[in-house]
């Protein structure tokens, strides 16, 4: 093979590599699409010992084995990505594959990042930032806690 043929092959491989890295999803971590739903809790009638904010349920399109879950007030997160979370769970081994969960709920196979800590109650009309990791897949979602009516 001539020198020009080798140079052409190297150039084609270089272009193929650039295309694969910048124009495909082959090397990007998978994104978790997250949605939230707030519904009045019928177990706690408004008033007597009811939580201040309506419970929030988070869901995804498919089941994921979540390895880390963190909820931080958005204002604090925007100034410091290592802000103190109001809820933080981690998994050391295999967590249960789930499609949705309720804020503050115990998620199978996960434990609080700080032993003995619990989810702090959500404050109405405050926007929070949720970060999820499921292996190499990641997801982020902002949501606002709504007040009980």
Contact assessment for residue 88 and residue 70, using Cβ atoms and an 8 Å cutoff: yes
How many Å apart are CA 113 and CA 148, to the nearest integer? 29
The 10 Å CB-count burial string (b at 16+, else e) for 17-40 is eeeeeeeeeeeeeeebebebebee
Q: Which strands form 56-64's sheet, in the order they lie side by side?
A: 34-38, 56-64, 98-102
Q: What is the DSSP letter of 120?
A: P
Specify the pLDDT at position 48.
52
Contacts (Cβ under 8 Å, ≥6 apart) of 142? 74, 127, 128, 129, 130
**pTM listed for this prediction:** 0.76
Q: Which strands form 68-73's sheet, in the order they lie side by side?
A: 111-112, 87-90, 68-73, 127-134, 137-144
| Higher-pLDDT residue of 51, 119 | 119
Contact assessment for residue 87 and residue 58, using Cβ atoms and an 8 Å cutoff: no
pLDDT at 90 over 80: yes
pLDDT in tens, 19-56: 888 888 777 778 888 988 887 765 555 555 545 788 89
Specify the pLDDT at position 49.
54
- The chain-wide mean pLDDT, for the chain, equals 86
pLDDT in tens, 2-16: 888 999 999 999 998
């Amino acid at each position: 093979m001539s020198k020009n043929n080798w140079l052409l092959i190297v150039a084609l491989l270089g272009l193929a590599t650039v295309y694969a890295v910048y124009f495909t999803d082959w090397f990007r971590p998978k994104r978790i699409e997250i949605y939230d739903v707030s519904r009045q809790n019928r177990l706690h009638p408004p008033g007597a010992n009811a939580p201040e904010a309506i419970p929030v349920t988070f869901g995804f399109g498919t089941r994921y084995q979540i390895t880390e879950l963190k909820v931080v007030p958005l204002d604090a997160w925007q100034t410091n990505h290592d802000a103190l979370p109001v809820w933080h769970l981690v998994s050391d081994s295999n967590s249960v594959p789930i499609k949705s969960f309720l804020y503050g709920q115990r998620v199978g196979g996960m434990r609080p990042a700080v032993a003995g800590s619990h989810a702090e109650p959500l404050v109405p009309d405050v926007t929070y930032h949720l970060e999820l990791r499921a292996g190499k897949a990641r997801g982020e979602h902002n949501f606002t806690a709504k007040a009980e009516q």
